[in-house]
Structure 1
């Protein structure tokens, strides 16, 4: 029997739809990228814990986004300046209409693309307390944080009715709503959970696998092509501009950090320095990638690398144990990028391929002197909101044994791979005392799984 149902035809653009679908896949590849990047910098005894935490955070965030996150962040059936409603609960009705922010693709695809952003944001702050935050409480925190921090901030900045959006804040791909929110939360977590048992602000913790960091950076850099390039939500020249600018910022940031590492820290040329600088550059260029000339990406990369490099040093001097430098790299990088966007954004970029009904703006280069104050207001507002709710959530969760975030001292010493995950990285299995091996007082000897018994009985 032929179906009597009729379908609704939308004025969609197949090229735009294809590009945003590809971009969604590109952003997803940042999940293993971030996992490898964090696991490589962290201690070997927490490798699988970090990898699992990042990917599980992605999975849970996606479910949350589909159920309520998208509707709270992008509902177009409310005129509230602060938060959406639940009219699109479980993505109901998104296949048969478009969203005002992406008029040439299905609302369901726009939701899919934005879901990847909602998944990467909380995964970022996991690095701040890697090796000392329990898995299940971490995931509970991610769900609550996505509801009370991420969704409202997205609505403020990107929804048509959002109060910052109506002030013409410029955040092309998430410098404030992704990097500033997660960086601020990372700082709160580091402060409230306290430092690692063996933390010493003067002593440097060496990355256990620069290879993992290198691999993770490559995947993140690759995925950022969709993160920034896809934020045009159309296959157009703005997307090309954003991708081009992002690559230049990453390149300049990586080179600058490597030079600083060599001159200031008197190191050799390290992969860790190159990779960290590239990530700092990418975080900083995210808010401005579709608003500035491509060559300006080099300026974003250089300035952000310098600011983030010295922020890392300041954090250590203040003895704040942000394990994987999330706050000084992503938080500071995103904030610096927001301010630089207010300076370097130009009409000759912002007027190209603009969404119908949107009034373009620019920065100081084109005489729009109010733009930097607006950018600064967005940074302060989002920092304050993120810090307040993160502190409230940590305080409440730590009141109950089941949801207490920090692991026990014994679990931290043995590593969360052993105490929570029950699996070990195939390269590294256990850390044991061995007085014959030179070490930094923290790591001594590393054995493969099949060598463990031989080493223990040696």
Structure 2
């Protein structure tokens, strides 16, 4: 056991844990006033549900000895039993328990990413059930494919340093499947649904950016030159993606927005996740610019194609994850985490084919499995709140709370009508003071 590496992995786990509250603020600021608490809770419940399932069987399914030809682990470690204090993880210098808590934080944030796609309209209990079923049927097996020593994608030589396939493509395509089942928000493409608190968005983005150093660099499970390269590539690609997003936004819309800057940063973080241990700094700049611009373009697809992805999970995480997962097949230098070289570094198409195989496999499995899970929940306990409850505010209905006490501002707060829902934070004059939700 190396105490320095162990301390680094435990610190990285804490950084990744912070990303889930960061995501909650990032998403929470993007929704309307009447949904902010529900959005925060959809992330926080993942911390509770996934942790318990991880201990019961999730860690064993993802990382114990293979049970079905590289598809899923067995249950030898159910309840995390028989793991000694000094037992090391699979050839590394850190304890199994340090690796387990680090990987737990990945399992927590992945379903939380999906929550932004169905903001404003799903029952909280249905969401909690979905999280439990989804991590069991989708996330734990896919994590085994990608990161377990006997997972089929790992053995094939796929490069996924920290989760482009297992986390971002997995969550992004699941978000698309889920919104197709759940349906559109009331007023989609008709009513303005602007973010109610852009400072929350920027705060959440900052916490995500900070925590992502643990997410990426910590995935090497040690502190050395590869760790440092993963960390600096994370910073470089994210910065470049901000510029790429803002440039496209200026060309297309004529202005730079804070929401665009935050979204561009997240797009860059997503894209560099699988590739941070394979690219040069210049390759990271190229990846960031491309990812920022492509994701900025992709978020508009929901209006053209008619699916209601509330907070652009598909446009950022699915598209960014695909771009980043393909990048090692093109830009891997062969001099950092492994000797695998991309097409532009003389490696031919071999690594690119491996990367495309992983992308296609995760896309297909996650979409089909998520769609089936969502339909089962829809047909049994139901996924959506009623239309009246959605219009009047899901925070009050599902949590008996509101994010802001407008009554303390003076005057009375009336019940919002169906016509009051556009333009977060704008007061509307009627027979009594109403607050636009």
Query: TM tier, shorter chain?
Result: over 0.9
Quote the Cα distance in structure 2 between the aligned partners of 1:212 and 1:226.
22
CA 383–194 in structure 1, closer or farther in 2 if over 3 Å, else same: same
SS in 1 for 2:299: helix
* Matching of residue 298 in structure 1 with residue 285 in structure 2: yes
- Determine the structure 1 residue equivalent to 2:245: 257
Quote the Cα distance in structure 2 between the aligned partners of 1:292 and 1:33.
27
- Determine the structure 2 residue equivalent to 1:424: 402
Residues 319-338 of structure 1, C-alpha deviations (whole Å, 9 max, x = no match): 21100000110011001101
* Matching of residue 209 in structure 1 with residue 197 in structure 2: yes
Quote the Cα distance in structure 2 between the aligned partners of 1:70 and 1:362.
32
* Matching of residue 373 in structure 1 with residue 362 in structure 2: no
Quote the Cα distance in structure 2 between the aligned partners of 1:431 and 1:212.
26
1:417 CA drift (Å): 0.6
Match of 2:265 among 278, 286, 304: 278
CA 95–316 in structure 1, closer or farther in 2 if over 3 Å, else same: farther
Match of 1:363 among 342, 367, 370: 342
- Determine the structure 2 residue equivalent to 1:92: 81
- Could you tell which deviates more after superposition, 17-26 or 234-243? 234-243
1:55 CA drift (Å): 0.6
1:308 CA drift (Å): 1.0
TM-score w.r.t. length of structure 1: 0.88
- Determine the structure 2 residue equivalent to 1:143: 132
What does residue range 57-456 of structure 1 map to in structure 2 within 5 Å? 57-76=46-65, 78=67, 80-96=69-85, 97-100=87-90, 103-200=92-189, 205-266=193-254, 268-351=255-338, 360-364=339-343, 365-400=345-380, 403-426=381-404, 442-443=422-423, 446=426, 455=433
1:215 CA drift (Å): 0.3
Quote the Cα distance in structure 1 between the aligned partners of 2:420 and 2:242.
27
CA 155–273 in structure 1, closer or farther in 2 if over 3 Å, else same: same
1:426 CA drift (Å): 3.0
Quote the Cα distance in structure 2 between the aligned partners of 1:328 and 1:177.
17
- Determine the structure 2 residue equivalent to 1:36: 25
- Determine the structure 1 residue equivalent to 2:410: none
Is the 2:28–2:201 Cα contact (8 Å) retained in structure 1? Answer: yes
Residues 373-393 of structure 1, C-alpha deviations (whole Å, 9 max, x = no match): 111111111011001110111
Residues 98-155 of structure 1, C-alpha deviations (whole Å, 9 max, x = no match): 222x620000110000000000000000100101111111011101100110011111
1:276 CA drift (Å): 0.2
Match of 2:45 among 31, 43, 56: 56
Q: Which runs of 5+ in 2 are unaligned?
A: 408-412
Alignment: residue pair count: 427
Quote the Cα distance in structure 1 between the aligned partners of 2:300 and 2:83.
47
1:291 CA drift (Å): 1.4
Quote the Cα distance in structure 2 between the aligned partners of 1:31 and 1:428.
28
TM-score w.r.t. length of structure 2: 0.92
Quote the Cα distance in structure 1 between the aligned partners of 2:280 and 2:182.
42
Quote the Cα distance in structure 1 between the aligned partners of 2:114 and 2:193.
19
SS in 1 for 2:295: helix
What does residue range 1-12 of structure 1 map to in structure 2 within 5 Å? 12=1
Quote the Cα distance in structure 2 between the aligned partners of 1:278 and 1:347.
27
Is the 1:284–1:334 Cα contact (8 Å) retained in structure 2? Answer: yes
Quote the Cα distance in structure 1 between the aligned partners of 2:340 and 2:81.
34
1:414 CA drift (Å): 1.1
CA 428–324 in structure 1, closer or farther in 2 if over 3 Å, else same: farther
Quote the Cα distance in structure 1 between the aligned partners of 2:248 and 2:420.
23
SS in 1 for 2:335: helix
Quote the Cα distance in structure 1 between the aligned partners of 2:68 and 2:182.
39
Is the 2:51–2:104 Cα contact (8 Å) retained in structure 1? Answer: yes
Is the 1:45–1:431 Cα contact (8 Å) retained in structure 2? Answer: no
Quote the Cα distance in structure 1 between the aligned partners of 2:400 and 2:140.
34
The CA RMSD over aligned residues, in Å, is 2.4
Quote the Cα distance in structure 2 between the aligned partners of 1:319 and 1:220.
29
1:240 CA drift (Å): 1.1
Is the 1:431–1:446 Cα contact (8 Å) retained in structure 2? Answer: no
CA 453–444 in structure 1, closer or farther in 2 if over 3 Å, else same: farther
